[in-house]
Amino acid sequence: MAETQRVFDAHFHIIDPAHPLVENNGYLPDPFTVADYVARVGGLSDSGRGGGVSDDQPGTPDAGTSDPDGFVPGTPDAGTRDPGTPDPNDADPGNAASGLSDSTFTVAGGAIVSGSFQAFDQGYLVEALRQLGPTFAGVTQLPADTSDERILDLDAAGVRALRFNVARGGSADLGDLDRFARRVHDLAGWHTELYIDARTIDDDLAARIAALPAVSIDHLGMHRDGVDTLLRLVAQSVKVKATGFGRVDLDPAEVIRRIVDTDPSALMVGTDLPSTRARRPFADSDFDLVREVLTPAEVDAVFWSNAADFYLGRRARTS
């Protein structure tokens, strides 16, 4: 029987036309709802079976049937977030180090990331998190003057990170990076995510990024000429998402291998669905490429535990 590899999809977008969208450089994306996402990753399997989050649509009356990893989409209490979320690795991961050539992928958690076209709206994000349930987290863009109360309300809804969209805009400015990133981390335990071309990271910005309490960089840093800078940041505990292969100008396999060799805990994978403005959309073979670059012992960390720990492994804190 083929082994199933859990996946924490560390980067995807939900585009719900029922919520505000903002044109970005003349671009407005097509809808990509929670139901569209579930349908797409439901077929994420190299053997044509066993993949995906659920056979049910989120939010439907019978969608409470859990999968083997404990993901229960659309359950009535899915929108209630306890800061003491259980360790995501308590669930039995299965024997992910064996039978990899025959394994399938099952998305059991993930991170919904706000795009430039959503600017500072969180309505869609809160609704999507309610539907998908507590193994999914939100990544949002906020103005730097957002109140503590609003940040804590979003934290209770499942938001776990602040995004600076340097490549596309629609977020706070990098001038606010140090103060704002530290503020949300101290207040709510959030990390910070950067969509940035690593070629543009000079020594001053690299030092500022490395000094942040918790930070990740999207899409392998985007360009081959930024890889050395990216690896220096990885060596200083910065996390990296292996996502968006259709939008990068580098060899993903080479960069993935170099990141894991530098810090095995640094790399996370994601679909980047629905791949807005990419030269090509996510393909199931992108996950096959990642898996082929890794040793069997590295696979579960890269596909599941690195990201699950980063997004769901909440530090203990008192009220």
Residues 191-249: tens digit of each pLDDT: 999 999 999 999 999 999 999 999 999 999 999 999 999 999 999 999 999 999 999 99
CA distance 253 to 237: 21
Here the CATH number for the domain that contains residue 36 is 3.20.20.140
pLDDT bracket for residue 165 (50, 70, 90) = confident
Nearest to 305 by CA among 275, 253, 266, 254: 266
In a domain, 72, yes or no: yes
pLDDT bracket for residue 26 (50, 70, 90) = confident
pLDDT bracket for residue 268 (50, 70, 90) = very high
Residue 23 has pLDDT above 70, yes or no: yes
Which range has the worst mean pLDDT, 1-5, 72-76, 84-88, 304-308? 72-76
In a domain, 319, yes or no: no
- The owner of tokens 């500022």 is 208
CA distance 134 to 5: 19
| Three-class DSSP category at 289 | helix
In a domain, 318, yes or no: no
Q: Where is pLDDT greater, at 162 or 46?
A: 162
Q: Where is pLDDT greater, at 128 or 51?
A: 128
Structural domain harbouring 98: 4-312
Record the pTM: 0.82
Residues 67-109: tens digit of each pLDDT: 333 333 333 333 344 434 444 444 333 322 222 234 589 999 9
pLDDT (0 to 100) of residue 117: 87
Which range has the worst mean pLDDT, 44-53, 174-183, 297-306? 44-53
- The answer to whether 170 and 139 have CB atoms below 8 angstroms apart is no
In a domain, 232, yes or no: yes
pLDDT (0 to 100) of residue 314: 56
In a domain, 99, yes or no: yes
In a domain, 44, yes or no: yes
Positions of E strands within 4-103: 4-12
Q: How many domains does the chain have?
A: 1
Q: Where is pLDDT greater, at 174 or 81?
A: 174
Mean pLDDT across the chain = 82
Cβ-in-10-Å burial (0-12, 13-18, 19+) of 145 comes to exposed
In a domain, 317, yes or no: no
In a domain, 35, yes or no: yes
